[in-house]
Chain A
Amino acid sequence: DQQVKQNSPSLSVQEGRISILNCDYTNSMFDYFLWYKKYPAEGPTFLISISSIKDKNEDGRFTVFLNKSAKHLSLHIVPSQPGDSAVYFCAASVALRGEKLTFGTGTRLTIIP
């Protein structure tokens, strides 16, 4: 039962353009959502998060949007840079259970110079 889904295994974007990564979830108990970035042979690194009481959170080039009614969130990266090439994981948790994150399967983002 995949409660967090990233339906696009890979995405290629031209440098300087916007990268949009999508994530859907099925468990309505989730109320905190996170994006992690992962390079090969390394552990995930926290990127940005959003609480269910918000619909948008912005941090520099990264913006996460949450649509609770659609159970959908997206990560926007603009402008995209070559160093953004990595696997991006969407994750979700229930409040006060931050230690138990449920991850999606990841989207491999490739930025084309």
Chain B
Amino acid sequence: NAGVMQNPRHLVRRRGQEARLRCSPMKGHSHVYWYRQLPEEGLKFMVYLQKENIIDESGMPKERFSAEFPKEGPSILRIQQVVRGDSAAYFCASSTYPAEAGNTIYFGEGSWLTVV
């Protein structure tokens, strides 16, 4: 887990507010992945980004969710108008190259979103 930094670690939002989760990949990594873990479930793939490009967003909900990975700065996962069902742990991961079957992906410690 060393090196992939996520913040905030814990975030509480009221229904209807916006949540922004940040991820700084490991030094030298230009590929970022976001996963979500709902209570009592496994991690589910959301989106895969390279610098300034979304490569695969097939796991992203169609509405209210967006992600970016700008040329400078961290990757941002943005959730607009949060609802209680968005309460989950959001994990960011990074790799140097497109991950070869997962063993070169390094996960951050997660951001826990609670919607009240």
Residues of chain A touching chain B, judged by Cβ–Cβ distance below 8 Å, are 4, 6, 32, 34, 41-46, 49, 51, 89, 91, 93, 95-96, 98-106
Contact = CB atoms under 8 A, between A and B. Distances in A.
Contacts of B40: 105
Given A89-B43, A105-B40, A99 B110 contact: no
Chain B: interface size category? 20 to 34
B103 A49 contact: yes
Contact of A43 (B48, B98, B101, B108): B108
A45 B103 CA distance: 9
B78 to A, nearest CB: 20
A99 B33 contact: yes
A95 B98 CA distance: 12
B1 A89 contact: no
9 contacts: A43-B4, A43-B108, A45-B1, A46-B105, A93-B101, A93-B102, A98-B104, A101-B35, A103-B44
Interface of B: 1, 4, 31, 33, 35, 40-45, 48, 55-56, 58-59, 91, 93, 95, 98-110
A103 B42 contact: yes
Q: Which 5 A-B pairs have the closest CB atoms?
A: A43-B107, A103-B42, A98-B99, A32-B101, A98-B101
Contacts of B4: 43
Given A41-B109, A100-B56, A46 B42 contact: no
B107 to A, nearest CB: 3
A99 B99 CA distance: 5
